[in-house]
A and B are shown apart, each in its own frame.
Chain A
């Protein structure tokens, strides 16, 4: 696993997304009723393409966590699934407060979720650590306008 590139920067742009299959999912802030729908769709797409089940499982775990992060912490955004012959890419681009301290957010158990959210069983501080653990590459760009999380999963 490569080291995660995590920095606070003024630009949310990360290198251009690859060609191949692409699908966008809109994630709304606070929409717990739809929580998990995007990651479930992604899982079903990967099954149809015939991706190795072990990889699907990792993508599924990471995208679920990312989806919940957007629901809990952002003002909403888009999750994009892109696939080419080498890898699966996930890009989560949201508007919102951004992640103030990425290094802290990467620590297991660290959470900025409100007590209300924690009462719902979320915000255990395992989101980003789990995403990192399950992806092959992870990049986060964040500023007070929003966050861009880029994930890569090798399929070859």
Chain B
């Protein structure tokens, strides 16, 4: 397999080598070495916490250049419902659809419609699941987190594609049928609130290959789209729109509500999700039917590639929702995609454990002992100045051969002090001898 693609990257020139990102990374995937941050690829889950926290904007997300749409004869935009919350004084969702058309897309298929289909599929599928709680597959950062840290919970993940994937399948199929063109001539482009979705397009899970052909960030699209929205005139929207519930997926809990689940737990914010996944792994929540974990605060509206404050965006989406005609997702429409298996995963999600310190168990135990010894010698301040997120992480890095004890500034100070004392002593002896 090729090396894993990551959307989250470092802009070396902007990185000052401060410790903000290493201290906030939920998987301890970043180190500062030689004055610059480094992302440990195997550990990174593309959650984007570092993008949010970096004061110098040195953490960036790779998204595709907008010119990529030129590579396809027909282009369809797949806007995440979060996009609707970005604009002030937006009269209706239809305006966004119109704006996207004016930007050069031949059609727009709302990801919220994909969410409607998935909501219907969850309703049917949940009943047959006895490995409780069933875990949502929608947030790719959470799925990745489970792969690297909670392999026991992989079997709890619902085997349904994300709304983005389902939207891409439906958009291409329906456009091809309507216009009598080949599906391979159609490019479907997701407008994403987060880097994790970009990664999930390049490194798909549960499926062989993503049907999405590229992704542009909400923030990159924002300016261009905002100027289109200001243009007078109304374009009538031919395509049917998503339901209130489908649009609600942008917010934490939206998926569970759309799927009509009573006994659910929705948790947002990656650190919070980790805590609850620990509890689920320890079998403490087996009375729960559904767990919806979203890496970003507030859900997708809190994505690091969005423009608007997540709370404002949520309120706007709520206001826009009151104007949506379809109160309920059309499960009649969803039927075709459920019955032919379009919504189902075709592959198992594999575990990708990264915490192991050595392939050999006995060696690992020896290394672990060493880590404990080194940790005990370190000051325990977790200051991050050495470039590792904590003293314990530094001890691990030393044992892995990625750091030296003297990288600790307190160790260095002790060393310098002791050297200085020795020098003073030497000079003193020298003087005595001369006298």
- Map CB proximity to A onto B138-180 as digits: 1 under 8 Å, 0 otherwise: 0000000000010110000000000000000000000000000
A107 within 8 A of B: no
Query: What's the nearest-Cβ distance from chain B to residue A72, in Å?
Result: 16
A48 engages B151 (CB within 8 Å)? no
A23 engages B372 (CB within 8 Å)? yes
B282 engages A20 (CB within 8 Å)? no
For A134, give the chain B residue with the smallest CB separation: B283
- B residues contacting the other copy or chain, number (CB 8 A): 23
Question: Of B281, B351, B362, B368, which one neighbours A48 at CB under 8 angstroms?
Answer: B368
Chain B 335-357 residues near chain A, CB threshold 8 A: 351, 353, 355-357
B contact residues around A53 at 8 Å (CB)? 151-152, 351, 353
For A41, give the chain B residue with the smallest CB separation: B392
A85 engages B357 (CB within 8 Å)? no
Query: What's the nearest-Cβ distance from chain B to residue A102, in Å?
Result: 24
Contact A50-B282, Cβ < 8 Å, known A21-B368, A23-B372: no
- Map CB proximity to A onto B51-77 as digits: 1 under 8 Å, 0 otherwise: 000000000000000000000000000
Chain A 42-80 residues near chain B, CB threshold 8 A: 43-45, 47-51, 53-54, 56-57, 60-61, 64
Complex CA gap A23/B355 in Å reads 19
B contact residues around A50 at 8 Å (CB)? 353, 356-359, 361, 364
A contact residues around B364 at 8 Å (CB)? 48-50
Contact A60-B282, Cβ < 8 Å, known A48-B368, A49-B364: yes
| Chain B interface residues (CB < 8 Å from chain A) | 149, 151-152, 278, 281-283, 351, 353, 355-359, 361-362, 364-365, 368-369, 371-372, 396
- A residues contacting the other copy or chain, number (CB 8 A): 22
Question: Of B278, B356, B357, B372, which one neighbours A40 at CB under 8 angstroms?
Answer: B278
Complex CA gap A56/B355 in Å reads 13
For B369, give the chain A residue with the smallest CB separation: A21
Contact A60-B281, Cβ < 8 Å, known A49-B364, A50-B361: yes
Query: What's the nearest-Cβ distance from chain B to residue A69, in Å?
Result: 15
Contact A57-B361, Cβ < 8 Å, known A23-B372, A44-B355: no
